[in-house]
Amino acid sequence: MTGRKECGVVLVGCGTVGGATARVLTEQADHLAGRAAVDLKLRAIVDLDFTHARELGLDEGLFCGKLDQALSGEGVDVVVELVGGTTAAREVVAEALRAGKHVVTANKALLAQHGPELWALARQHGVCIAFEASCAGAIPIISALSGQLAADRVEAIYGIVNGTCNYILTAMTERDQSYADALAAAQQCGLAEADPTLDVAGIDSTHKLAIMAALAFARRVDFEKIHVEGIDRLQLQDIRYGQELGYVIKLLAIARGQAEGLSLRVHPAFISRRHPLAWVSGPFNAVSVYARNSGHTMYYGRGAGGTPTAAAVVADLLTVALGNAQRNFQLLGIWPDRSQQANQLDIEAVRCRYYLRLQVADRPGVLATIAKVLGDRKISIRSVLQHEAAGGSADDSVPIVITTHRALEGNLKAALNVVNTHPTVKAPCVCIRMVDEPAEGLE
């Protein structure tokens, strides 16, 4: 059709997501043309190695070894950065912005660590950055945070944003596998890397949290100050006790406004089996957002994978082609380069509920002693679980599981320091945070 507007796209990095994006743009071009008055036109694919691109049967006429050459071509409006990492990718994005091209990126690490400088650079050159694909794959959480939730006031975010961790925790919970066995299973089905550190230590979730929290609270977030704990030290027996009490373990990326400031943290947490996040299983992701007017909304879907992530990239391309991404970038007040620094709370200032497991001597008065140490620091007990001793433990000790009401983490740590030195306590107390949001159902 003549006269139709075109939006020219240069794609940089043709790996799993890049390849899938190129396929969607070419194979579904007719369908996309029916959906909008602007055509998305793939002008060039930039990479150092085109083996994967060739395997996918992509048009070799689009292959280009040099970014500057691709950028200087005619009718290039937007650059899709799918290189990953924070070194080459940072250069690619900066070069594109300086050349006056909009950028679409899936790069969470880059935005978490260098977002404000890149947003500022984009503004300087009159262009914008779209990044739906950076958080939770196909889930349109960035759209939600910069759409309806930007007109609301977010109070808390709880995200399951790492599919590898969620797969492992689901396997531990449902198959009763140890952490090591569940990790091996995840590696076997391609859901975990040979070196799984970035995922299981919580770093990947922290990147996504930094991006989501910045938009949700319209504050600049210091990525380095986010408290992070991984899933690699979780023990099966705690998962089992949690289940007995009605809770499921998840690795959560949490941003929560408290009176004193903003609490940002990634750690394993127990969540009520009645909360919809508890049912997000296997490699799926979900993000729960609590906002003043909307109340609780949750967004669920595939958090990774070539085609689901490409869906988010193509959606971003369409919002750029329509001009909406630009308007949002100009007119909304939520972007980190315009925001004040968040007052990020230390982990000691967090208030939440806690699950505690103590291995104690099986003799009278032990529970009373522990309860007193906790009570002295304003920590009140909500439930206690102690089974009749099965007998046979080497040191005649028994586990006691305690859940607390909401308490200050600093107070809890002080109490545990005392508890752990008590002669009747045989091993350091295991402590897992609990999410405490109102039940949703018939109550």
Q: Which residues are catalytic?
A: 208
Name which of 388, 406, 407 is nearest 398 in CA terms: 388
Convert residues 182-221 into a mask of x (bound to its own copies by CB under 8 A) and - (unbound).
------------------------------------x---
Binds its own copies by CB under 8 A, chosen from 76, 83, 171, 345: 171
Show contacts with its own copies in window 326-355 (CB under 8 A).
327-328, 330-334
Distance CA(228)–CA(111), nearest Å, equals 18
Name which of 68, 139, 417 is nearest 302 in CA terms: 139
When computed from its CA atoms, the radius of gyration of the chain, rounded to whole angstroms, is: 24
Q: Residue type at 249?
A: I
Q: Residue type at 291?
A: A
Binds its own copies by CB under 8 A, chosen from 52, 95, 243, 282: 282
> How many Cα atoms sit within 13 Å of 11 on the Cβ side?
30
Show contacts with its own copies in window 215-234 (CB under 8 A).
218
Check residue 1 for interaction with its own copies (CB under 8 A): no
Total residues interacting with its own copies, rule: CB under 8 A? 72
How far the first Cα of the chain sits from its last, in Å, is 58
Measure Cα distances from 101 to 79, 98, 275 in Å: 6, 7, 43
Check residue 358 for interaction with its own copies (CB under 8 A): no
Check residue 438 for interaction with its own copies (CB under 8 A): no
Residue 272 pairs in a beta bridge with 247
If the CB atoms of residues 313 and 432 are measured against its own copies, the closer one turns out to be: 313
- Which stretch in 45-53, 110-118, 221-229, 315-323 sits in contact with its own copies by CB under 8 A? 315-323
Distance CA(80)–CA(72), nearest Å, equals 15
Check residue 31 for interaction with its own copies (CB under 8 A): yes
Check residue 81 for interaction with its own copies (CB under 8 A): no
**What's phi and psi for 28, nearest 5 deg?**
-110, 20
Name which of 413, 91, 121, 438 is nearest 274 in CA terms: 438
If the CB atoms of residues 334 and 360 are measured against its own copies, the closer one turns out to be: 334
Check residue 422 for interaction with its own copies (CB under 8 A): no
If the CB atoms of residues 77 and 152 are measured against its own copies, the closer one turns out to be: 152
Binds its own copies by CB under 8 A, chosen from 8, 301, 336, 399: 301
Tally Cβ neighbours within 10 Å of residue 323.
12
Check residue 119 for interaction with its own copies (CB under 8 A): no
User: CB of 311: closest distance to its own copies in angstroms?
Assistant: 4
Measure Cα distances from 412 to 233, 262, 265, 266 in Å: 20, 19, 17, 18
- Helix intervals (H) in 189-300: 197-200, 203-217, 236-244
- Which stretch in 121-129, 197-205, 300-308, 430-438 sits in contact with its own copies by CB under 8 A? 300-308
Check residue 440 for interaction with its own copies (CB under 8 A): yes
Show contacts with its own copies in window 7-26 (CB under 8 A).
24
Show contacts with its own copies in window 362-421 (CB under 8 A).
none
Asked if 332 contacts 214 with a C-beta cutoff of 8 angstroms, the reply is no
Show contacts with its own copies in window 130-149 (CB under 8 A).
132, 138-140, 143-144, 147-148
User: CB of 60: closest distance to its own copies in angstroms?
Assistant: 24
If the CB atoms of residues 390 and 442 are measured against its own copies, the closer one turns out to be: 442
Distance CA(327)–CA(395), nearest Å, equals 67
